[in-house]
Structure 1
């Protein structure tokens, strides 16, 4: 049985003239101990989809799904109290900005202790010993002294390590890392990623890694989900995705990697991810796709056209270019 099962997840936010769909039909099946990465540009709905799973979206958000289950329990019908018993204990999340995610009014030790006090039966001395152990596990020197430090007294890398310590405090079955290396320098990024990979191996956690860094994906993930403008456009094993990308957007992301550049000018994807008011009538990627045809601009895949009878437009690459339009099986 999958640890996390998502089918056709949709998230909408109210706007002046209705609702804006930030996540549109995302599906994911995650097994215990598996590492899955979700990639895409900013605005692709990666974080929103996982915040919906965690139940951390504002009450104004409208979340629907055919299936939304964690460890065999239906998250759609679960009471708020029951869900709070899972979040932070069995399911935890590391957020993008450690300096803004940690509460500046409380010490690191207090914030770790809060998670332990909420989800465990440990006494005060046991919780302090556990907090010291956690800080030591994530590589913070002199952990006992750091418990009394406030977030502003710690560097970005140390703050991120403290957030990881809070997330793993109750030995979660699932850890969601939302761009955990944002705003960190390159050497610290590598240390944080190594730390997450080590903790995942030692604890057997399932890990969902949200990122836009394809290099991180290649080194860490077993499977990859590619999202664009809220839609899931491709899912494949890491080896298959890097070896034979099947969607033009995936191919464009990979072509933009510096190590794959064949000229002095680094390839890029023109334009930006469509927002609320500039979404095209056809395929959402068609305005930026070098291989779009008139059928792509006329109607979304799966809604019109003789060849578009499936949800995903797939173009197998031939010599680095998409071949004739095909449809995902």
Structure 2
């Protein structure tokens, strides 16, 4: 049985101009010990999908799904009180921008112990000792002294480590890392990624890594899910995705990697992600796709089989000639 299983997840936000679909029919599956990377441009619905699953979206969001289960338990049926017993304990999240995610009015120690007090039956002394252990686990020197520090007294890398410590406080079975290396220098990025992968291997937890950095994906993930304009457009194991992508968007993303550039000018994808009022009737990527024809622009594309990376495309790359004949 899968640890996390989501089927046909959609999220609509109420706006002055009408409803805007930020997530459109997304499927996600994560097993115990699995490392799934979700990649795509800003606005592709990566973070919103996870926030919807955790029940952290504002009231303006309408969430629908055919299935949304964690460890066999239907998340759609949970009350707010029941959900709070799951979120933060069995399922936790490292949020974007650690410098703004930590509360500047409280010490680091207070914020870590707050999660322990909420979810675990520990005495005050035990919570204090556990907080020290967590800071030591994530590589913060002199952890007992750092418990009394405020977020504005810490560097970006230190703040990110504190966020990881808070997320791991209750030994979750599923950890969601949302852009865990954003705004960090390259050296600190490598340290944070090594820390996350080491902890994942030690604990056997499932890990969802949300990122737009394909280099991070290559180093850490087992499977990759590519999203575009709120839709999942491809999913493959890491190695095969990099060597044989099937969706034109995935191919364009990989071609834009500096190490793959064959010309002095770095390749780019023309155009922008469609917004609320300019979404095509057919494939959402068709205005930017070099292979698009009238069928692509007017008919919603089918989802191909696993042998073609579950690509949401009329003409997946690498398909037999008879399937792509026009």
Name the TM-score class by shorter chain.
over 0.9
- The CA distance in 2 between the partners of 1:315 and 1:222, in whole Å, is 26
Structure 1 regions of 5+ residues with no counterpart? 304-309
Give the match for residue 172 of structure 2: 172
Q: Please report how far the alpha carbon of residue 276 of structure 1 lies from its aligned counterpart in structure 2 after TM superposition.
A: 1.1
Give the match for residue 143 of structure 2: 143
1:121 counterpart = 2:126: no
Work out whether residues 296 and 314 of structure 2, in 8 Å CA contact, stay in contact via their aligned partners in 1: no
Give the match for residue 158 of structure 1: 158
- The CA distance in 1 between the partners of 2:274 and 2:60, in whole Å, is 22
Q: Please report how far the alpha carbon of residue 264 of structure 1 lies from its aligned counterpart in structure 2 after TM superposition.
A: 1.1
Q: Secondary structure at the match of 1:111?
A: helix
- The CA distance in 1 between the partners of 2:249 and 2:323, in whole Å, is 15
- The CA distance in 2 between the partners of 1:208 and 1:52, in whole Å, is 14
Structure 2 regions of 5+ residues with no counterpart? 304-309
The 1:53/1:177 distance shift into structure 2, 3 A limit, reads same
Q: Secondary structure at the match of 1:225?
A: strand
Give the match for residue 256 of structure 2: 256
TM-score, L = length of structure 1:
0.93
TM-score, L = length of structure 2:
0.94
Give the match for residue 97 of structure 1: 97
Q: Secondary structure at the match of 2:266?
A: coil
Give the match for residue 274 of structure 2: 274
- The CA distance in 1 between the partners of 2:61 and 2:101, in whole Å, is 21
Give the match for residue 218 of structure 2: 218
Matching of residues 215-254 of structure 1 within 5 Å: 215-254=215-254
Q: Secondary structure at the match of 2:77?
A: coil
Deviations 1:156-204 (A, max 9, x none): 0000000000000000000000010011111111110000001101111
- The CA distance in 1 between the partners of 2:248 and 2:27, in whole Å, is 20
State the number of aligned residues: 318
Q: Which runs of 4+ in 1 moved over 4 A?
A: 322-327
Work out whether residues 138 and 195 of structure 2, in 8 Å CA contact, stay in contact via their aligned partners in 1: yes
- The CA distance in 2 between the partners of 1:270 and 1:3, in whole Å, is 38
Q: Secondary structure at the match of 2:177?
A: strand
